[in-house]
Amino acid sequence: MKKHRSFPSLDHFRLTAALFVIAIHTSPLGSCNEAADFWFTRVLARIAVPYFLMVSGYFLAKGGWQKEKMKRFLLKTSLLYLVSVFLYFPLNIYAGLPTFGETLKRLFFDGTFYHLWYFPAVLTGCVISYGLSRMGLRFALPVAAVLYLIGLGGDSYFGIVAVFPPVQAIYKLIFSLFQYTRNGIFFAPLFLLLGAAALKWNFEKRISFAGFLFSLCIMSIEGFILRHMGVQRHDSMYLFLPICMMFLFSFLLSRNNGENKTARSISMLVYLLHPWMIVFVRAGAKIIGMENLLIQNQMVHFLAVSILSFSVSGFLAGLRCCRKPDPAARAWREIDLKALQHNVRILKEQIGPDCGLMAVLKADAYGHGAVITARSLQKQGIVKAFAVACLAEAIQLRRAGIRGTILVLGYTLPSECYLLSKWRITQTVVDEAYAVQLSDAAQGKKIPVHLAIDTGMNRLGVPSTDLNALHRIFKLPNLEIQGMFSHLCVSDSLLPEDVAFTLEQVNRFYTSVLKLQADGLETGKIHFQASYGVINLPAQPCDFARVGIALYGVYSHNSPVQRKLDIWPVLSLRTRVVLVKHLQPGETAGYGRAFCARRTTKLAVLSFGYADGLPRDFAGMNGMVLLHGKRAPVVGKLCMDQMLVDVTDIDDVKGGDVATILGRDGAALIRAEDLAEQCGMITNEFLCCLGARLPYRNL
C-alpha cells in the first residue's frame, strides 16, 4: 500500500508569500532592470496578500462560518495588530507623528505603518464577508466582486475612470476616508470569500496549474499596459488578479496534505518584522561602511533583509512553538458530535413541539466536555437553555460564548450574586431562607431565579405544600422569578410503587403551580422532567425538559424503561498499547504479583489506569477491552497510569495500537451501561469519574 506523505502546501506557500512581501518593499531587481523589477514586485508579488486572505477565508469557512470561530479570529488578529502598532511606534515617532484625525484614519483603515494596512483590512473584510456569507456564496461573491471593481477604479485603473467628473468626485470622497482602495472594504472581502468558495472547488492539478500560468501571463500584460499608459494610482489590484488567485489556490489545495504550524508562525513573523530588518540592514551597512553593497545593490539588500527576517522569525517561532502533546498519544475521549445532535432531534420529538430542551451540562457535561457540547448544541440551534451544577460551570460556558439561559441547579453564595448579574446567569432558589439572603445581597439589582419545589425528594426546594412561603418569596424585591421546577427521584424505575410515587410528585408540582397562578402570580417557565421523566412519562405541558444522561446517548443502568429511544452514544474511550510482554508459565506480573501466567502468555501494557477512571480491581470485575475488534481480558491490578491485558489469542498486537475501553471497535462493542455495571456504578457516576487528564477529540 502506498503511504501518503504529509505535504502541507497551503502552509508552505505562506513562506513564499512572505518572501514576496519583502520583495515588494526592497525591489530586488531595481539595480538590474526596471521592467523586470516592476513585473517581479508589482505583478507577481501581488499574489502574496490575496493569498494570506484566501487562506484565512478558507479556514474560517471550513466547517461552516461559525460565529465563535470568527470572534476568536478577530480577537487574535486585533491583539496582534495592537502589538504591531506599539512595535512600530518608535519609527512613527522618528518619521513624525500625524495629527489625531490622521492617526485614527490610519489605525482603523490604512495601518499605522506601511505594511500594517493588512490588519485593519482583514478585520474589516472578515466582518463584511461573514455578513455576506449569511446569504450564501452565490450572493456574497458577486457583491464582493462589485466592491473589488470599485476598488480597482481607485487603484490600477484610476487614470481611466477618473476622466469622468462624477466618478472623480466619488473617488475624491473615498480618498478623503482612506488612503487606498486596497483595504478591508474594496479589496479583502473578495479574496476572503474566494478562500471560502475553495472548499467547493474540484479542479484537477494540471488544469489549476495551467490556469494559473495563463492568467498570470494575462495579468502581466495587463500590468505592463497600465504602466505604459501611466494610469495607475497604485498597483495592488488587477482585473485578472482574482482569477489568477483562484487557480493558484486550487492548485495548492489539490496538493495539500497536513499542516505545518511552524511555517504559519514564521511567515506571520516575517511579514510583521521585515520593515525593522530593513532598518537594521541599512543602519548596519552605514556603521560598517558597506552601503554600496548592502544598500545600493538592491539584490544583495533584498537577500540580506530576507535572511535576517527569516532567521529572526525562525528563532522567535522556535521560542514560542511549545507544541502541545498529541491528544491521541496516550489515552483520550472521542466525542461524536453528530451523535449528540441526533440525540437532540430524537429527544425533541419525544417531548413535543411546545416544550424546549434544557441541556444539563453538570460535571463537564457528564465527562463529555461542557464547552464542546454546548458549542455544538448552540450551533445546531435547537437547544437554547442549559443547566449546570454551580456558578463556576456557568461562567465557564459564558466565557466560551454560550448564549441563552444558563440555570445553576445548585447553591451559590449570596455574596457572589453580583457574578450572577455580571454573567447573566439564573440561580436556583433552594429554600425560603436562601431566597431572603439572595434578595438582601442583591442590593437593588434584580437576580433572575427559578424556584425549586420539593415534591417528595426531600433534597433542595421549598415544600410544595408551603404556599405561604412561596408567596413570601414572590414578594421579595430583588428576585426576578423566571421559572419553577422540581425533580423526580424514582422516575427511572417501573416498579408499581415507584411509578405511583412519581405520579404523586407530578401531581404535587402541578397543584402548586396552578394555585400560584390562580393567585395571579407569574410562575415563568416550568419544568420537572429529567432524562427518565422523558423516557418513562408521556409528553408533559411544561416549558422545558432538563435532559442529562439521555442527551449523551446512554441510560443510567440496564433496568427496563417505558420506551427505548433511538439515541446514540456520544463518548468512546481509547488508549494505546505501550508494548507487548511475553511470559512463560508460572511468571507473574503487576503489583502484588496479582497475575500468574498458566500458559505461554502475551501481555499488552495499555496506557490507561485507575487515575483515568477505572477501578483498581477492574480485572476482578471481568473487565475487558477491545483490540483489533476482539475482546481481551484485563489481568492483574490496575496501576495509576497503566493496565495489563491478555492478548495471547489476538494476532499482531504491537506498541502504538489503539485499544478501546468504551465504545465500538469493528463489530465488537462495550456499552457504557455494561461497563458501569461491572464497576458497581450507574452510568452517570462512571462518566463523571473519568480522569481529568483525558483529552477530548471531536469526530
State which H helix or E strand residue 454 sits in: strand 447-454
Handedness of CA 417, 421, 425, 431 (dihedral sign): positive
Task: Output the nine-digit C-alpha cell for 315.
Answer: 528563532
Residues in the chain: 699
Per-residue three-class SS string for 316-335? HHHHHCCCCCCCCCCEEEEE
The position carrying cell 544598500 is 295
Catalytic residue among 130, 157, 238, 362: 362
Angle 694-697-699 from CA coordinates, rounded to 5°: 145
Please indicate whether residue 205 is annotated as part of the active site.
Answer: no
State which H helix or E strand residue 545 sits in: strand 544-547
Separation of alpha carbons 671 and 492, rounded Å: 19
Please indicate whether residue 591 is annotated as part of the active site.
Answer: yes
Catalytic residue among 67, 71, 591, 654: 591
Separation of alpha carbons 640 and 656, rounded Å: 20
Tell me how crowded residue 369 is: count the other CB atoms within 10 A of its CB: 20
Burial of 328 (0-12, 13-18, 19+ CB in 10 A): middle
Per-residue three-class SS string for 41-86? HHCHHHHHHHHHHHHHHHHHHCCCCCHHHHHHHHHHHHHHHHHHHH
Q: Do residues 460 and 412 make contact, with C-beta atoms less than 8 angstroms apart?
A: no
Torsions phi, psi of 525, nearest 5? Answer: -75, 130
Separation of alpha carbons 580 and 596, rounded Å: 16
Residues marked as catalytic: 362, 591
